[in-house]
Amino acid sequence: MKQLEQLDILEQRAVLVGVNLNQQQDFDYSMEELGNLAEACGVEVVGQLTQNMERVNKSHYIGTGKVEELSGLYKGLEANLVIFNDELSPSQLRNLESDLECKVIDRTILILDIFEKRAKTREAQLQVEVAQLQYMLPRLVGLRESLGRQGGGVGTKNRGAGETRLELDRRRIEEKITALNKELESLVFQRQTQRKQRKKNALPVVSLVGYTNAGKSTIMNAMIEKFGAAGGSGEKTVFEKDMLFATLETSVRNIQLEDNKSFLLTDTVGFVSKLPHHLVKAFRSTLEEVAEADLLIHVVDYANEKYGQLIQITENTLKDIGVTDIPTVFAYNKCDLAGHPIPKVQENSIYLAAKPRIGIDELVSLIRGSIFTDYVQCEMLIPYDRGQVVSYLNEHANIKSTEYENDGTRLALECREMDYDKYREYVIESK
């Protein structure tokens, strides 16, 4: 029995397969990315097969001649898995597995598998499970046959639970999706309530966006450390690691600056090209955090020579989820690895290195210039019997000087417009 278990967890050796439709410019990078995704699942890439086509083959995705070539390559390299760079239809999956007599998965199930491994919160786990079930529903036959060929490993979920799920009939899977969506809706409602409360408090929201593993969580942790949101104890820092999709949950932290200005900083799931529509749909509630931001910080891995394509992938994904016309600051990260001088600011761009904490002050200056546009400088004279107003302003405004006069406390301050309007009766001078 132990030998069988060892076979199940045997190192997976994969051949990657991609079709370059009409000479796509980013095709080579998407294949490289597929290899990175495979490695993120612990799969060793041993070979690659590509084909230039004007349109995919409806029955096998690749041409029949290429299927034979793939079969020879697969056997010759002693691979035990074939991964396609696009989402396969149920019939393509069945035909390929039948002709190749091996386990075949596509890019979508690979990404779903990574998301499943990384999901920590109940909401993220539900979102991934819904996406998996929606993907599996039309593919039950092919996936069941695939499980028969090889238990365990990427694309089959964990043994036992995965097999049980695939044995469910369509009706039961649909019922399961409905039940999960109901639970998700209650969590989404909680998130919406939290967002409404934040809007009521009129705190500006800054969202970190970008390609996966660009360094969004590192930037967030650098801000938390610098401005004491974690109280110096690290309690509120977010998980960061040099791997794809380290962060799936949306983290929100209140960043309190020295002059009593504050903003909410959100760290969201990273993007990747051809992000499965099942996942985009499932994570839509999480991505709504981005849609309601006052400012986006587009974090770019400047050490990656293909960083221009990574920018395009992120911008395309933002468009897909309906995020447009939000002011954006570009944070070119990992410049220390690219040999670029840091810190350097150019208009709405900052070149920095978040890990060694170089350029964080400059990034904050850019954020300040973008979100604190509704602040008013003024002087107020507040009667001594209105001490609670002085306490409020000391906590929520930037007090530049305090003088005690016969008629009350005289404050020279910078405050939000809403607070200026609220206490206009005490204003004696505005600038």
Q: What is the pLDDT of residue 72?
A: 92
Task: Read off the CATH number of the domain in which 388 is found.
Answer: 3.30.70
Same domain, yes or no: 44 and 126 = yes
Same domain, yes or no: 277 and 155 = no
Task: Point out the annotated binding site for Mg(2+).
Answer: 217, 247
261 within domain boundaries = yes
Reported as a single tens digit per residue, the pLDDT across 74-87 is: 999 989 899 999 99
Q: Please give the residue range of the domain that contains residue 123.
A: 2-167
Task: Read off the CATH number of the domain in which 225 is found.
Answer: 3.40.50.300
What is the percent of the chain where pLDDT is above 70? 81
Same domain, yes or no: 336 and 391 = no
Q: Are 351 and 302 in contact (CB under 8 A)?
A: yes
Give CA–CA dist 137/348, Å, rounded.
45
pLDDT at 290 over 90: no
Task: Point out the annotated binding site.
Answer: 210-217, 247, 267-270, 333-336
How distant, in Å, are the alpha carbons of 370, 402, 412, 414 from that of 431?
Answer: 20, 17, 11, 10
* Structural domains of the chain, count: 3
Q: What is the pLDDT of residue 285?
A: 61
173 within domain boundaries = no
Same domain, yes or no: 90 and 235 = no
Give CA–CA dist 46/413, Å, rounded.
65
330 within domain boundaries = yes
177 within domain boundaries = no
188 within domain boundaries = no
Domain boundary among 340, 371, 402: 371
Give CA–CA dist 43/40, Å, rounded.
7
Same domain, yes or no: 103 and 213 = no
Task: Point out the annotated binding site for GTP.
Answer: 210-217, 267-270, 333-336
Mean pLDDT of the chain: 82
Domain boundary among 371, 386, 405: 371
Reported as a single tens digit per residue, the pLDDT across 115-158 is: 887 777 787 788 888 888 888 887 765 554 554 554 556 665 54
As a whole number, mean pLDDT of residues 273-288 equals 70
92 within domain boundaries = yes
Domain boundary among 321, 347, 371: 371
Same domain, yes or no: 81 and 162 = yes
Same domain, yes or no: 238 and 334 = yes
Same domain, yes or no: 354 and 383 = no
Q: What is the pLDDT of residue 84?
A: 94
Cis amide linkage into residue 356, ω under 30° from 0: no
Task: Read off the CATH number of the domain in which 156 is found.
Answer: 3.40.50.11060
Same domain, yes or no: 348 and 222 = yes
